[in-house]
Structure 1
């Protein structure tokens, strides 16, 4: 097992996205009945990220990143429209 000082991979930041290879590694380990904790240590990513990848794979059948939902855009449009209406009064 690698220690933190000898590990080449760094911890994943909030804004970084995992590579397809690392997501595939997580799924491969899951299919080999490794625990989430073991996968987290092996791939060097947080347990929450491992759990999210596995959940997404079970629900959608893919680990590819999905386009963002339209909800945020429609809420933004509504908010802008509301502000403009209030300003015109």
Structure 2
């Protein structure tokens, strides 16, 4: 079975860690010190979760997520547009 994994770097203090999850199977989250170790942990958790579903007689979810990588062109006049001025207050 093939799934999409989302891997994110997270900095906590001086340490750099990673987290990963699979959007097709909610609740499967893994953590690790490197991307490779995090992905290996996620694969183990997914295998375990799918095994539990099969034991219960439930078919694992099919792969539904897709990945799109796209570019956004930012022009100077859009960065200073008044309608975006209030967005700075959200952060």
TM-score of the pair, normalised by structure 2: 0.26
Q: Give the helix-richer structure, 1 or 2.
A: 1
Structure of greater relative contact order (alpha carbons < 8 Å, 6+ residues apart): 1
